[in-house]
Copies of this chain bind each other. A is one copy, B any other.
């Protein structure tokens, strides 16, 4: 299968490395310099004490011409509009697209794309980009995907042809797949970023845990979750399983980079406003993280 991967961040590098063992992968990067470097050196993946390098073809995204069977879009949600503007300039009729963004705000952007099929997925791997050509795979997990529009044949093929150490699981219902990830992200990401703590600290510190419960309750109320207890157990077990991890939002804040707060709490807040539900804590943490983003910018420019 000819696979295009858009985005040279940690997830893009991770997918490029693993999928290239069985497929012809082209990685599309934002900057020409990252593509050049990867063409020279390959992509280096570190897992525990192991380090391995794979040759991968890399191209600047501006040169994308739509010759892949499937394109995996592994950019942040806030980068998506720019990517879609470029994608839509080429005929997409024979192509499948897999979107790996957090949140659910991007679904409305996908409605009017005329592709053969559109898939959405959630990534449960821990990965950090150490250099433009190097990624650390710290937490082995799974990628869950589902059909959003069109037929699912190619997604099943991709799933069956994934390497065993990097499995792709096909789920039946894209909505509940994304909601589950959204709830996890809505609770863990903003709180760990606000308190500057690891995921596990949200369970260990009884006061932080109280706040976690209240933010979860508000999220469940806004999203009108059925089987609320299952969603809650899922949040808790992910905090537990990733207890030593620093969440992506915490890392972004610490690095003075923009976060995915719009895709996560911004989306929940939008739903709350549509349904005219008060969501004081979600609004508070949304605003708090926006404030931290500005402080980070100040630090970088100051």
Contacts and interface: CB of A to CB of B under 8 A. Distances in A.
A291 B214 contact: no
Contact of A281 (B195, B205, B206, B280): B280
A83 interface: no
Nearest to A286: B207
A294 interface: yes
The SS class assigned to the A binding surface is helix
A94 interface: no
Given A280-B280, A280-B281, A281-B280, A195 B294 contact: no
Nearest to A283: B214
Nearest to A195: B291
A189 to B, nearest CB: 16
B214 A284 contact: yes
A205 B284 contact: no
Given A205-B295, A206-B294, A294-B207, A195 B284 contact: no
Contacts of A214: 280, 283-284
B284 A207 contact: no
Q: How many A residues touch the partner, as a band?
A: 20 to 34
A18 to B, nearest CB: 37
Contacts of A194: 194, 288
Interface string A195-226: 10100010001111011001000000000000
A231 B195 CA distance: 29
Interface string A279-297: 0110110011011101100
A288 B194 CA distance: 10
A76 B286 CA distance: 34
Contacts of A294: 205-207
Interface in A17-71: none
A251 to B, nearest CB: 18
Given A197-B295, A295-B197, A207 B290 contact: yes
A208 B291 contact: yes
B287 A207 contact: yes
A284 to B, nearest CB: 6
A177 to B, nearest CB: 30
Nearest to A290: B207
A24 B112 CA distance: 83
16 contacts: A194-B194, A194-B288, A195-B288, A195-B291, A197-B295, A205-B291, A205-B294, A207-B288, A207-B290, A207-B291, A207-B294, A211-B291, A280-B281, A280-B284, A281-B284, A284-B284
Interface of A: 194-195, 197, 201, 205-208, 210-211, 214, 280-281, 283-284, 287-288, 290-292, 294-295
Closest 8 CB pairs of A and B: A207-B291, A280-B280, A207-B290, A208-B291, A207-B287, A205-B291, A210-B287, A211-B287
